[in-house]
Structure 1
Amino acid sequence: MAKIRKIEQTAPAIVPRKKVAAYARVSVESERMSHSLSAQVSYYSALIQRNPDWEYAGVYADYGISGTGTARRDEFRKMVEDADARKIDIILTKSIQRFARNTVDLLETVRHLKGIGVEVRFEKEGISSMSGDGELMLTILASFAQEESRSISDNVKWGTRKRMAEGIPNGRFQVYGYRWEGDGLVIVPEEAAVVRRIFQNFLDGKSRLETEREFAAEGITTRDGCRWVDSNLKVVLTNITYTGSLLLQKEFIADPITKHRKKNRGELPQYYVEDTHPAIIDKVTFDYVQAEMERRRELGALANKSLNICCFTGKIKCPHCGVSYMHNRRTDRGLMEFWNCGSKKKKKVGAGCPVGGTINHQNLMKACADVLGMEEFDEDVFLDRVDHIEVPEKYTLELFFKDGNRIIRDCPNTGHQDCWTAEYRAATSEKRRKYGTNPRGATCFTGRIKCAECGNNYRQQTRKRKNGEKYHMFSCATTNTCGNNSIHEDDLQRLSAEAMGLDAFDASAFSERIDHVVISKGGRIAFHFKDGGIHEASYSTKRRAQPWTEERRKKQAKAIRDSFTGERRQKMRESMKRLRKERGDGWRRE
């Protein structure tokens, strides 16, 4: 008998099309380069769409941007992001130079794309990142591309410096007070007036900080509408361009790959070109300002009269941190003057001074007078004999004399004891009696909410719900033994407003009108007014439950389902069998 075998119909295997994109770049903005970029975009768009096995994923193009980095190449970074999102399978590019001229950037990007399964094809070199020797060839050729970029940069620098040597500036830089007309700088009268005022303020003895505050008060801003700050003012005061001459090559790019810009401090020649444009400040004035700035720099903090300076300024040093001590004043407890290490300003981990503590100003003067053999401290004698003071340990001074001698003297900090004058002590006692022991965090309710059971004050407590939201409760100070009801702050505010006949709670009105509030068990509250009136009310003492969200319901249902394990179900079945056997037919009714 003949054998019959059925051949099942099979669907043809459909190979999914590859999502292909291309990357193009030109580094110079010009009409010719623009046409070149357009030609690259058109070429790759047509190439990808002609291939039936490919799906067009777009062409990413950066115009007028160097390939030595990726930070400014928006299209390049967008392409990598789309590749991470699985929108691209293959990337086409003309050559390694178009993709990147930085060896590190090239290898990091190619390795990243290869790791997520995205292939990069370099047409000119005929390299695929997925091939066995692809990375080796890329490393070699990328190094050549990087060195070519460095060579091009050196050639450009040579041309730039050649022009500078002939007195031709490198481009049209922006400088406040001038604008470019043709190939020359012309004065902007409104801005020039501000420049002259900056110089005049400095000549009048004003610090840059004083000029900054002066301009802020008058609404004088920079060309971009920003506030004048110390750094802007320093640039103006040190810019020789305002004398009508140019100083070329003030800065230079140290590395063409990283583009790191450095101030020229003698590493390269500079070119001084005289009388190239109208002057705003004469050269004599400019030179005097530079000399004065140098003099103030040598004096340090003593030259800045806007600071709180004295004879100890810059004289007290921390041998551990290498910085000077700062002079501080406090007026919240009467006038208190003290010194602490300048490292306290540095908000860095581990930047705290190991010595710690502060030096009381009055005790500092007493210790110095004692060491110098004076009944009263004399600033002139101190400056004449003492070179500087170091603080090796807490409350310990080491005085270094100009003749080479050194003396160590204790200087305890008694500032907190000294501030407790009779007047300050009386004011603090009154404040604590009125507002409790925490006046800094006090509210209008502090010290005014009384417990009817034990007579103690209610205290504010900050609590947190499961969702992280914070709220305030007022509870008896002896909650553990008293057990009187607590009250929410919003309930207290609402009841207070009702008692005062207001639509909304007003803290100042509460302080003016209500003497105290008494809370009794069962949610009863009584407001005692300063005029003798009493208003009684009640509030709910039930615990506030948060409404169940859909997410919470699902979570609870899942927890219940998960709790019914196989072992638990087996125990329940055995328990029901035992009940039926013990109770007989009436087990349901029971």
Structure 2
Amino acid sequence: MKAAIYCRLSEEDRDKRSFADDSASIQNQKSMLVQYAIEQGWEIYGIYSDDDYAGADRNRPAFRRLLEDAEKRLFDIILCKTQSRFTRELELVEKYLHGLFPQWGIRFVSIVDNADTDVKGNKKSRQINGLVNEWYLEDMSDNIRSVLRNRRENGFHIGATALYGYQKDPERKGHLIIDGEAAQVVREVFTLFSQGYGKSAIARMLNDRGVPNPTEYKRRKGIIKAPAKQKNSTLWKYYTIADMLENEMYIGNMVQGKYGSVSYKTKKNKPRPKEQWYRVEGTHEPIIEKELWDKVKAMRRQKAKPFTTGTIGLFSGKARCAECGYVLRSGKRENWRFLTCPNRSVSKDA
């Protein structure tokens, strides 16, 4: 009988203080499982190991390889320390342990909680394990949300990176300090708009000078590791300028929670209503003075009406550019109107 060993270590395991807790180390898991397989007389086909992955993450690389190899019948047994190392989701317990594994001729064994798909009377305990693990995921998600909500309500910055123009304070967690180089560009954007330049014109001016957009700037500073996906992804766009001119963070107010997770089972987020955002005033040094902010805000309101009648067009906010996906703006030439992408003239390369 060939056994595939699967190990998983997640972030929550690193908080455990007891050296005797085997889940606190991938190596301890491997040693325990290898010894068990030898005692059972099983040949070890291979060891699949995911380090720093949660039990609800379905895209764990070794986990995906394990399932692919199981479907190919490359081994007979999947051996884990506990059922939760394989998955904490009850849905996947039913799908694989009670559905696909029996079809593929794969036996699942976890040695600490005695889960074994070859034992018929063991099914209810596996389902109970799955239910308890599911509850654990939900409770952990609620606890994390509670902590993050409290920190946001108290004005602490939550996020992997700081807003363009700022950087994380290395001496004070959750506090932002000004990034001089980027802040100078932010001030220039606000000043140009206050002087009557349009958002596309400002983007074009920055692109013509070779000023990297916020994402590319962070990439060059080593803050973001992922390479640019598209040729034009380093350029300033209309919507980048538009978002900057509306962001209260630049006058010293911490605004967070604009997006929220759909479920604890997915990393997908959705926009939250403005009244549900977390807004705390005066948490960090402003880049833009209040007088300039108020002037820009007043000018943005004046430009918000697409037609001279003050009415909103039929396709306002609905029609989007097929190339970049941004909302099209209305235009007028002589006696006819049209929709156009505001990004069309931000650069010669756009």
CA distance in 1 between counterparts of 2:123 and 2:290 reads 60
Matched, 1:27 2:35: no
Equivalent pair of 2:259/2:269 in contact (CA under 8 Å): yes
Equivalent pair of 1:208/1:233 in contact (CA under 8 Å): yes
Match of 2:130 in 1: 142
The CA deviation string for residues 511-556 of structure 1, in whole angstroms up to 9 with x for no partner, is: xxxxxxxxxxxxxxxxxxxxxxxxxxxxxxxxxxxxxxxxxxxxxx
TM-score by length of 2: 0.72
Equivalent pair of 2:154/2:280 in contact (CA under 8 Å): no
CA distance in 2 between counterparts of 1:103 and 1:285 reads 55
CA distance in 2 between counterparts of 1:45 and 1:237 reads 59
CA distance in 2 between counterparts of 1:116 and 1:158 reads 42
The CA deviation string for residues 445-488 of structure 1, in whole angstroms up to 9 with x for no partner, is: xxxxxxxxxxxxxxxxxxxxxxxxxxxxxxxxxxxxxxxxxxxx
Equivalent pair of 2:10/2:53 in contact (CA under 8 Å): yes
Match of 1:77 in 2: 64
Shift of 1:128: 2.3
Match of 2:296 in 1: 289
Equivalent pair of 1:19/1:87 in contact (CA under 8 Å): no
Query: Which of these residues, 83, 92, 106, is aligned with residue 93 of structure 2?
Result: 106
Cα gap change, 1:154/1:19 in structure 2, threshold over 3 Å: closer, same or farther? closer
CA distance in 2 between counterparts of 1:291 and 1:102 reads 51
Match of 2:117 in 1: 129
Cα gap change, 1:44/1:232 in structure 2, threshold over 3 Å: closer, same or farther? farther
Equivalent pair of 2:109/2:115 in contact (CA under 8 Å): yes
Equivalent pair of 2:203/2:237 in contact (CA under 8 Å): yes
Shift of 1:182: 1.4
Match of 2:280 in 1: 272
Query: Which of these residues, 83, 92, 98, is aligned with residue 96 of structure 1?
Result: 83
Unaligned ranges ≥5, structure 2: 18-22, 221-233, 324-332, 338-350
CA distance in 2 between counterparts of 1:231 and 1:59 reads 48
Match of 1:546 in 2: none
- 1:2-401 equivalence runs, <5 A: 17-28=1-12, 30=14, 35-52=24-41, 54-71=42-59, 73-110=60-97, 111-132=99-120, 137-170=125-158, 173-180=161-168, 181-183=170-172, 184-222=175-213, 223=217, 224=219, 226-266=234-274, 268=276, 270-274=278-282, 276-297=283-304, 299-300=305-306, 323=315
Equivalent pair of 2:9/2:24 in contact (CA under 8 Å): no
234-243 vs 132-141, which moves further: 132-141
CA distance in 2 between counterparts of 1:249 and 1:159 reads 13
CA distance in 1 between counterparts of 2:95 and 2:297 reads 48
TM-score by length of 1: 0.45
Select the structure that is richer in strand. Answer: 1
Shift of 1:221: 0.9
Identity in percent: 23
Equivalent pair of 1:24/1:99 in contact (CA under 8 Å): yes
CA distance in 1 between counterparts of 2:291 and 2:124 reads 62
- Give the secondary-structure state (helix, strand or coil) at the position aligned to 1:258: coil
CA distance in 2 between counterparts of 1:75 and 1:290 reads 51
CA distance in 1 between counterparts of 2:119 and 2:294 reads 65
Number of residue pairs aligned between Structure 1 and Structure 2: 300
Structure 1 vs Structure 2 CA RMSD:
3.5
Indicate the structure (1 or 2) with the bigger Cα radius of gyration: 1
Unaligned ranges ≥5, structure 1: 1-16, 304-310, 318-322, 325-341, 348-360, 366-387, 389-590
- Give the secondary-structure state (helix, strand or coil) at the position aligned to 2:292: helix
Match of 2:229 in 1: none
